Structures are given as C-alpha cells and as structure tokens.
C-alpha cells in the first residue's frame, strides 16, 4: 500500500520561481471526488496519469495514494468523462534542503491561488521552510484540488 504524507502551505511571494529547477503545466479532472476516495485523471506535460487517493487522516497529512502513468491520449479521453470543473495549473519543483517543494500556481477560476506541498517520510519529519512559505493549510479541505474544482478560489 502506498501512503502519502505531505504538508501544504500558502505561498507568500514569487521567489519560488527563481529557485525552481523545473516547471510543467498540469490539467486534471476527477472521475470521482468524494472525500472517501478520489479518482483523478491528469495530463502533466506530455504524460498522463491515473491516481486514486483515500480519505485523509484527522490531521490531513496522511492518506493512501496509488498512481499509474497512462498514455497521454487515454488521459485526454478520460478527462472528457470527468465531473464538471477542471484544475489548470503550473507546477514548479523547488529544492529546499533535502526536500523538494511542489508549488502550484493555479489558473482559471482558481487564478491567484499559489500553494506549496512537501512530501515527508513521517508526519514528524523536519524540513527546511523557505522564506516564501506562508500560512500552513494542511488538512484545510477547501485547498484540496478535488474541492477547488467545485468551489474555486474565485468564489470564496
């Protein structure tokens, strides 16, 4: 079983762009977006992915995650079957100490939202916090991509 442990933060300024070692455009939709299980389809650059995530624990840091790469044309076809609402964003990979933050800059109805996530080996693992890291929003469901597609940032 694959377990994902991550913490999520708002981003306070654009310094992460200068520190990024890579960026890629991501489009994603959800075949199922219930809190107990989400089934996500994603195109990331020239690749496709199918991801299943389970319910988060009480703190929002840990949950089951299964992901497989699928052909881009299949991912594109599956996106057409998804629930209404699409997530469109650019992901920046930003090293910080021994970790890499994934910083997502959102577009469309989520324009103006920038969120950083860091994956950890345990919930207690220490990590460097770059100066551009803002308020922690781990466990705040309104920042879940599966919620942002139905209740976008522009509607808050």
Q: Please report, for the chain, the start and end positions of each structural domain, with discontinuous segments joined by +.
A: 3-155
pLDDT per residue as tens digits for the range 122-153: 999 999 999 999 999 999 999 999 999 999 99
Residue 145 is inside which H or E element, if any?
A: helix 145-148
Confidence of residue 35 (pLDDT cuts 50, 70, 90): confident
Give 124's contacts (C-beta < 8 A, 6+ positions apart).
none
30 is catalytic: yes
Catalytic residue among 16, 30, 143, 144: 30
Q: What are phi and psi of 41, to 5 degrees?
A: -115, 135
**Which region, left, alpha or beta, applies to residue 46 given φ > 0 means left and ψ of -120 to 50 means alpha?**
alpha
CA dihedral 18→19→24→30, nearest 10 degrees, is -110
Averaged pLDDT of the chain:
96
Give 56's contacts (C-beta < 8 A, 6+ positions apart).
62, 63, 139
pLDDT per residue as tens digits for the range 44-61: 999 999 999 999 999 999
Give residue 156's pLDDT: 96
Does the pLDDT of residue 33 top 90, yes or no?
yes
Distance of alpha carbon 114 from alpha carbon 9, whole angstroms: 9
Distance of alpha carbon 82 from alpha carbon 88, whole angstroms: 14
Give residue 47's pLDDT: 98
Per-residue DSSP letter, 32: E
In CATH, what class is 3-155? Answer: mainly beta
**Which region, left, alpha or beta, applies to residue 45 given φ > 0 means left and ψ of -120 to 50 means alpha?**
left
Give residue 154's pLDDT: 96
Q: What is the pTM of this model?
A: 0.95
């Amino acid at each position: 079983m694959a377990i994902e442990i991550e913490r999520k933060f708002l981003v306070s300024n654009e310094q992460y762009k200068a520190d990024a070692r890579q960026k890629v455009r991501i489009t994603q939709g959800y075949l199922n977006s219930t809190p107990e299980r989400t089934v996500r389809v994603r195109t990331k650059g020239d690749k496709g992915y199918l991801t299943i995530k389970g319910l988060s624990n009480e703190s929002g840091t840990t949950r089951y995650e299964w992901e497989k790469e699928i052909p881009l044309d299949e991912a594109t076809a599956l996106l057409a079957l998804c629930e209404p609402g699409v997530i469109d964003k650019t992901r920046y990979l930003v090293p910080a100490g021994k970790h890499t933050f994934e910083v997502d800059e959102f577009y469309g109805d989520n324009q103006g939202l920038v969120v950083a996530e860091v994956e950890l080996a345990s919930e207690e693992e220490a990590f460097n916090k770059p100066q551009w890291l803002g308020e922690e929003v781990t466990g705040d469901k309104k920042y879940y991509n599966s919620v942002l597609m139905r209740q976008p940032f522009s509607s808050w």
